[in-house]
């Protein structure tokens, strides 16, 4: 697909209420593909050698809590799929069921049959995180389960345990990142004090194509609009034909006239990298507001992203009349580009999904994309981290925590993980902010590009995840 794709887990169709959409099932068991299609399978294909599961020396049992009781039931029920509708309704709360039917739940759980509990990572009254072997101990997944005040399951996330060699040195991290593509950038920074203090880096100030990571700037502009009172989280937005884009995402499949709150639209943008949701939010705050966010967050070369394209516009430029229309745009100066958008690009029909399917090699990734440096993305994260501390903006942190792209940092060591990434043929971006349980926060941003051929994500993604996990571990050691 395009630079508008994100490495995200599969989930149900976004709902039209507020937090039920955010706390409901996220089955993030992902098979990465070059077409950004989310799948529900136990582990990334082509990953580094998966260590054989070792059966525990003693029997591990769920904790004696409300969450533990539901984990015990779920593991037993997964051995006898499908779970009946009555059983699902007896164990999941109404908000969850409003978003995911028993049929959807059963379909997702088919990917994790043969489950055996290996260890408990986190045990709280309303939350439990466990490592479970699946498929006859061939793979391991993390099951994160939360319950409501009545003890009913309100949230469920199942994600593969990141595999690959342990990277014990910065040289190991560098070698892993460099193996992904001929051009890479990396920044590991301590952001505990609100600014990016580099810990380790590879060419961190050079601008590079970033794919869907540009949505961090849309979220920043939206958050500032909420802070100013011009936008409300519960404000309804309307899906229209004019704002529909191509996948990633699902809102493009909703009927015209569908109402969805700003909060749910932002959740779709961050968790599913929904392109229609993104364009709806750009339309809401205005192109100029997102362009202002580039400068306000400290981007070194914001002119590279002006005019700030909607996802629909970049699809038209890369898919319609390719490469003639794209070349006209690339050759123009900024005022002429804006005129071309108004006169031609914005009037063109949305390309067919089939046209995007034929896009399998890099297309002008160094001149027609979204651009930022690893340092720029770090500053975007620190801007969002500052906003989240303001009244009425705690939702920002929850939005950024919806999808960790299967990084699965040890929850006994790490309290929160924020993620946004993106890809198109020739581009792979993965950017994280994680906060440890000691209160220290770090950003790890890795950018990879290959202008001549696509990056094989079935190989690159597990390598990048291993490198990023190693970088967080090394940074936290000091």
Confidence of residue 164 (pLDDT cuts 50, 70, 90): low
- Are the C-beta atoms of residues 116 and 132 closer than 8 Å to each other? yes
Q: How far is CA 6 from CA 211, 265, 351, in A?
A: 8, 16, 20
Same domain, 447 and 393: yes
Same domain, 82 and 185: no
Provide the residue count of the chain. Answer: 478
pLDDT for the residue 111: 78
Same domain, 439 and 317: yes
How many domains is the chain partitioned into structurally? 2
Q: How far apart are CA 55 and CA 78, in angstroms?
A: 19
Residue 166 is encoded by which pair of tokens?
């342990």
| Cα distance between the two ends of the chain | 39
Residue 209 is encoded by which pair of tokens?
């194509």
Same domain, 202 and 275: yes
Same domain, 99 and 179: no
Full DSSP string of 46-92: TPSPPPPP---SS-----SSHHHHHHHHHHHHGGGPSPPHHHHHHHB
How deeply is 305 buried, as exposed, middle or buried, from its count of CB atoms within 10 A (0-12, 13-18, 19+)?
buried
Q: How confident is the model over 44-95, as pLDDT tens digits?
A: 222 233 333 333 345 788 888 888 899 999 999 999 999 999 999 999 999 8
pLDDT for the residue 162: 58
pLDDT for the residue 283: 98
Which of 160, 187, 203 is at the close of a domain? 160
Q: Which domain holds residue 118?
A: 51-160
CATH of the domain at 283: 3.40.710.10
- The pair phi, psi for residue 451, each rounded to 5°, is -70, -15
Residue 350 is encoded by which pair of tokens?
């949305």
Q: How confident is the model over 379-402, as pLDDT tens digits?
A: 999 999 999 999 999 999 999 998
State the DSSP H helix or E strand holding residue 444, giving kind and residue range, or none if neither.
strand 441-449
Mean pLDDT over the full length of the chain: 86
Same domain, 196 and 177: yes
Q: How confident is the model over 310-369, as pLDDT tens digits?
A: 999 999 999 999 999 999 999 999 999 999 999 999 999 999 887 776 788 999 999 999
pLDDT at residue 114 tops 90 = no
Q: How far apart are CA 396 and CA 380, in angstroms?
A: 13
Residue 274 is encoded by which pair of tokens?
């929904």
CATH of the domain at 126: 3.10.450.280
Residue 16 is encoded by which pair of tokens?
């039209």
Those residues with Cβ within 8 angstroms of residue 397's Cβ, 6 or more apart along the chain or in another chain = 388, 416, 418
248 found inside a domain:
yes
Q: What is the DSSP letter of 149?
A: T
Cross-strand partners of 160: 141
Q: How far apart are CA 458 and CA 154, in angstroms?
A: 32
Q: How far apart are CA 77 and CA 102, in angstroms?
A: 13
In the chain, the largest separation of any two C-alpha atoms, in whole Å, equals 70
Which of 130, 160, 190 is at the close of a domain? 160
Q: For tokens 């580094």, what's the residue?
A: 48
Q: How far apart are CA 109 and CA 87, in angstroms?
A: 14
Q: How confident is the model over 15-50, as pLDDT tens digits?
A: 333 332 233 333 433 323 223 322 222 222 222 333
Percent of the chain exceeding pLDDT 90 equals 64
Beta carbons within 10 angstroms of residue 467's beta carbon: 25
Same domain, 96 and 134: yes
- The pair phi, psi for residue 388, each rounded to 5°, is -65, -20
Strand, helix or coil at 81? coil
Q: How far apart are CA 297 and CA 384, in angstroms?
A: 9
pLDDT for the residue 25: 39
- Are the C-beta atoms of residues 49 and 163 closer than 8 Å to each other? yes
- Are the C-beta atoms of residues 427 and 455 closer than 8 Å to each other? yes
Cross-strand partners of 26: 157
Residue 367 is encoded by which pair of tokens?
């001149």
- Are the C-beta atoms of residues 301 and 261 closer than 8 Å to each other? no
Which of 160, 191, 208 is at the close of a domain? 160
pLDDT at residue 6 tops 70 = no
Range with lowest mean pLDDT among 197-201, 370-374, 459-463: 459-463
39 found inside a domain:
no
């Amino acid at each position: 697909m395009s630079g508008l794709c994100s490495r995200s887990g599969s989930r149900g169709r976004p709902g039209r209420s507020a937090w039920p959409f955010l706390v409901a099932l996220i089955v993030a068991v992902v098979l990465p593909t070059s077409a950004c299609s989310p799948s529900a399978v136990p582990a990334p294909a082509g990953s580094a050698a998966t260590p054989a599961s070792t059966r525990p020396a003693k029997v591990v049992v769920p904790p004696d809590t409300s969450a533990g009781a539901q984990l015990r039931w779920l593991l037993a029920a997964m051995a006898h799929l499908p779970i009946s509708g009555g059983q699902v309704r007896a164990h999941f709360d109404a908000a969850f069921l409003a978003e995911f039917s028993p049929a959807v739940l059963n379909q997702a759980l088919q990917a994790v049959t043969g489950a055996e509990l290996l260890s408990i990572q986190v045990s709280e009254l309303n939350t439990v995180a466990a490592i479970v072997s699946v498929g006859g101990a061939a793979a391991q997944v993390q099951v994160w389960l939360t319950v409501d005040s009545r003890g009913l399951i309100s949230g469920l996330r199942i994600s593969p345990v990141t595999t690959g060699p342990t990277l014990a040195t910065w040289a190991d991290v560098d070698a892993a990142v460099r193996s992904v593509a001929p051009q890479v950038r990396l920044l590991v920074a301590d952001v505990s004090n609100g600014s990016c203090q580099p810990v380790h880096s590879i060419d961190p100030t050079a601008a590079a194509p970033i794919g869907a990571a540009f949505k961090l700037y849309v979220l920043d502009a939206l958050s500032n609009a909420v802070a100013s009172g011009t936008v409300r989280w519960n404000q309804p937005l309307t899906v229209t034909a004019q704002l529909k884009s191509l996948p990633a995402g699902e809102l493009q499949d909703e009927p015209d006239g569908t109402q969805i709150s700003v909060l749910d639209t932002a959740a779709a943008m961050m968790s599913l990298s929904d392109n229609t949701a993104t364009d709806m939010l750009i339309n809401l705050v205005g192109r100029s507001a997102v362009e202002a966010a580039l400068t306000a967050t400290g981007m070194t070369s914001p002119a590279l992203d002006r005019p700030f394209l909607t996802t629909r516009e970049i699809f038209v430029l890369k898919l319609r009349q390719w490469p003639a229309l794209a070349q006209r745009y690339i050759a123009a100066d900024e005022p002429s580009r804006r005129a071309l958008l108004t006169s031609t690009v914005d009037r063109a029909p949305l390309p067919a999904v089939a046209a995007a399917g034929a896009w399998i090699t890099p297309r002008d990734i160094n001149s027609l994309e979204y651009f930022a440096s690893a340092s720029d993305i770090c500053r975007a994260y620190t801007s969002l981290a500052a906003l989240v501390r303001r009244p009425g903006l705690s939702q920002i942190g929850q939005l950024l925590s919806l999808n960790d792209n299967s990084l699965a940092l040890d929850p006994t060591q790490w309290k929160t993980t924020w993620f946004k990434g993106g890809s198109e043929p020739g581009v792979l971006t993965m950017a994280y902010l994680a906060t440890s349980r000691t209160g220290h926060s770090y950003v790890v941003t890795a950018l990879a590009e290959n202008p001549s051929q696509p990056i094989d994500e079935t190989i690159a993604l597990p390598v990048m995840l291993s490198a990023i996990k190693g970088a967080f571990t090394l940074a936290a050691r000091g």
